[in-house]
Amino acid sequence: MKIVRMALAALAFASFSAHAELTSYAPWDAAYPNIAGVQFNVQNSTGAGTTGTIAMGAHAYKNGVTLPNDGSSVFHASSGLYEANRANWSFDYAWDLSGCTGCFVQLWVDVDAGSGVDFRQLALVNASASSYFESWNMEMTFIDGALYDFDPYSPSSTAFSLRLLAATGLELARSDIRVDVPEPGSMALLGLGVLGMGVAARRRRRA
């Protein structure tokens, strides 16, 4: 039992100790106050005429603005549907190209549900807009079925890549994240580990 408790604590610590690397993104919070506080991997490109910002994140669909994460780029979500045609989690992206002349962005989605990575580009209607904010769900029909048949009930590991490119096509910056959906039992263990950390913290404060 002691080994199990240690493993849970280590898992929770690994998920949250480096949390400072992920951050909220103020322009997103202003654009979507109802889901302000989403955690993003924010990347910047600087240089003459190439100053731009791109950001990718994920959140629990209609059930909170955050997901457990490793503090850097990997989020942990639960399987299943929140409602008809919407998975329990969504991915979010944003950019600001106002200081990047002629720049544009590309969004790539991993269509290999396993541990491998098979990126396919997902069309962006406003790929050259100076600023843009959007939240999509893998069960949306233009993703699920258009790229591959996403199964919200199965364990999966889905990578996303938002790339900032110069007018010449040169990549200037990239924001990468991954959303892992483990077996339901694994998510329960993670939840127990987080709960245990909360109880321990409250006990320390009372001491």
CATH number at residue 47: 2.60.40
Contacts of 144 (CB under 8 A, 6+ apart): 138, 150
Containing structural domain, residue 172: 19-184
Instruction: Flag whether 99 is in a domain.
Output: yes
Instruction: Flag whether 192 is in a domain.
Output: no
Domain count, the chain: 1
Instruction: Flag whether 190 is in a domain.
Output: no
CA distance linking residue 38 with residue 116, whole number of Å: 26
Name the average pLDDT for the chain: 83
Instruction: Flag whether 52 is in a domain.
Output: yes
Inform me whether the pLDDT recorded for 6 exceeds 60: no
pLDDT digits (tens, 9 = 90+) for 120-160: 999 898 898 999 999 999 999 989 888 888 999 999 999 99
pLDDT digits (tens, 9 = 90+) for 13-47: 343 333 348 999 999 999 999 999 999 999 999 87
Q: How confident is the model at residue 116 (pLDDT cuts 50, 70, 90)?
A: confident
Instruction: Flag whether 92 is in a domain.
Output: yes
Instruction: Flag whether 13 is in a domain.
Output: no
194: burial class by Cβ within 10 Å (0-12, 13-18, 19+)? middle
